[in-house]
Amino acid sequence: MIAVITQRQQVKMAFDKIKVTNPIVEMDGDEMTRVIWKSIKDKLILPFLDLDIKYFDLGLPNRDATDDRITVESAEATLKYNVAIKCATITPDEGRVKEFNLKNMWKSPNGTIRNILNGTVFREPIICKNIPRLVSGWTKPICIGRHAFGDQYRATDTVIQGPGKLKLVFVPDGNNEKTEFEVFKFKGAGGVALSMYNTDESIQAFAEASMNTAYLKKWPLYLSTKNTILKKYDGRFKDIFQEVYETKWKSKFEAAGIWYEHRLIDDMVAYALKSEGGYVWACKNYDGDVQSDFLAQGFGSLGLMTSVLVCPDGKTIEAEAAHGTVTRHYRVHQKGGETSTNSIASIFAWSRGLAHRAKLDGNVKLLDFTTKLEASCIGAVQSGKMTKDLALLIHGPRVSRSQFLNTEEFIDAVAEELRARLSVKAKL
């Protein structure tokens, strides 16, 4: 009997696993993204890579069981190994506390990790030619850098009951006299108050990361603030960015034909809408939170967005999906129903994390693999193989079942495309 070897088997036989010298940190997550995360590992990562994974289960039940210590440990491991790849996770509210019978309403794991790593989150669209953009003029990507430290996200806020004076007090170390500011005199029923901060060191690291990213991409850099209103607070961001630019980056930028410019946030939003893209936009923490979703939707979908946290050392990163845990799909999955969940952002979390590992290790084969993995995602979509959310953007609300793939079918399609791309080199 003659054995028939399929093309798929030939590709498998021709491909040897790529050895990844140093470990990566994996942070597992929740709900539907946890389901697709495992499928991505099993079908797109582990068959092709000999990889040492330091695994941390950041699923909400395990965060509760460990009193959220697991989140801190995963961030500490990231600082040790320099590369983390994170699945989307639940940030619990009152409803989730009841659903999971939690001991506490644990803080956002992303917030905890970002505060330990003290980095800048860079988000950038994944552009597929056949996916229509809401902002049609955006013909080039826009990379948004969110300063992931301080401001509203580490603020102290409170409800004020009744009349009285609100003061801001700074007590310096040593014997110097304290500095006191009267903020407001409440009358009547009271109101609300907020105190927030940032540090020169963190702002400087934000500036360095933003300028380094712009220089590597050879794109201009814009910083947006509201320094006309927050003259001291936002003015500090503006001054530090200008100082870092003048002392370290100006000559490099000019040689590369790019530039740095500060703009008011309202002016920058208006400019962004009428621009063609092709620049890095550095945002303060809250602005970056809001504008990154605005950009994602403008480019087509939150499911087509990369997200990488870059630490001040430029060596340590955490790559993640820019969306949530897709609870609605998970409820269907729990009941045994068919889902069509877009896994592209989660796949790109793996590709961007592994690409950074490749650059740190000088691993050319691994870098080539990550390039082909990303090309396989885009290639699948551009050949008409996509999940329902993307099919809706192309075909509208009357999209038929034949025009999209389910969750597993799409990952299988990417895997098939990846094997084909890898086999080309394997046959040479």
376 appears as a binding residue in the annotation: no
CB 58 within 8 A of CB 71: yes
Q: Which helix (H) or strand (E) holds 19?
A: strand 18-19
Return the bridge partners of 53, or none. Answer: 24
93 is in an annotated binding site: no
Q: Is 108 annotated as a binding residue?
A: yes
What single DSSP character describes residue 18? E
Q: Determine whether the annotation assigns residue 146 to a binding site.
A: yes
Backbone angles phi, psi at 158, to 5 degrees: -155, 160
357 is in an annotated binding site: no
The annotation status of 252 as a binding-site residue, yes or no, is: no
Task: Give me the residue label for tokens 């539907």.
Answer: 32
**110 assigned ligand-binding residue:** yes
Confirm or deny that 289 is annotated as ligand binding. Answer: yes
Q: Is 339 annotated as a binding residue?
A: no
The pair phi, psi for residue 395, each rounded to 5°, is -100, -10
Q: List all residues 6 or more positions away from 66 whose beta carbon is below 8 Å from its beta carbon.
A: none
Are 362 and 384 in contact by the 8 Å Cβ rule? The answer is no
- Best CA proximity match to 209, nearest among 121, 335, 141, 117: 121
Q: Are 162 and 138 in contact (CB under 8 A)?
A: no
Collect all residues with Cβ–Cβ distance below 8 Å to 359 and sequence separation of at least 6: 367
Q: Is 111 part of any known ligand binding site?
A: yes
The answer on whether 90 is annotated among ligand-binding residues is: yes
Q: Is 59 annotated as a binding residue?
A: no
Q: Is 123 annotated as a binding residue?
A: yes
**Residue 331 is assigned to a ligand binding site:** no
324 assigned to a ligand binding site? yes
Calpha distance 358→15 (Å, rounded): 19
| 78 and 58 Cβ atoms separated by less than 8 Å | no
Q: Do the annotations mark residue 70 as ligand-binding?
A: no
Please name the helix (run of DSSP H) or strand (run of DSSP E) that holds residue 201, with its range, or none. Answer: helix 200-217
**160 labelled binding-site residue:** no
Give the C-alpha separation, 87 to 411, whole Å: 16
Annotated binding residues for NADP(+), written as ranges, equal 89-91, 96, 274, 324-329, 342
Annotated binding residues, written as ranges, equal 89-91, 96, 108-114, 123, 146, 266, 274, 289, 324-329, 342
Annotated binding residues for Mn(2+), written as ranges, equal 266, 289
Annotated binding residues for D-threo-isocitrate, written as ranges, equal 91, 108-114, 123, 146
